[in-house]
Amino acid sequence: MEARAPRPGVPVRGSGSGRPVMAVLDLLGRRWTMRILWELSQAPAGFRELQRRCERMSSSVLSTRLDELTGALLLTVRDDGYHLTRLGQELVEALSPLDAWSRRWARETGAATPGEPGPK
């Protein structure tokens, strides 16, 4: 059974509008989706390697997310494993300002973030 990824123009969880932004937010909000995209933005990986990088998430969840991301045209599978497509790479790049904002937000709220010094 192929997983159905959210699609622009189709109602998604929390929104009946079919707006593209709502579809992508639904997809990105699914458990492990962001981690998979992050890992593949660092380097392509086969199923087992990706599962290892993602702290051994269950094979059924990984399989479902890979099907969804492939169906959404964000991933492709080749002989050497899963790769981000051009759209997938552009999505990761588009999230960079959100990452920068979230780090500023963490600093201003006094929250410690992994890899950065905590509040003084």
Domains and CATH numbers, the chain: 20-108 (1.10.10.10)
Confidence grade of residue 115 (pLDDT, cut at 50, 70, 90): low
pLDDT digits (tens, 9 = 90+) for 73-96: 999 999 999 999 999 999 999 999
**Structural contact between residues 16 and 71, judged by C-beta atoms closer than 8 angstroms:** no
Rg of the chain over all Cα atoms, to the nearest angstrom: 16
DSSP code at position 76: E
pTM of the model: 0.83
DSSP string, 15-68: BSS--HHHHHHHHHTSTTHHHHHHHHHH--B-HHHHHHHTTT--HHHHHHHHHH
The token pair at 1 is: 């059974």
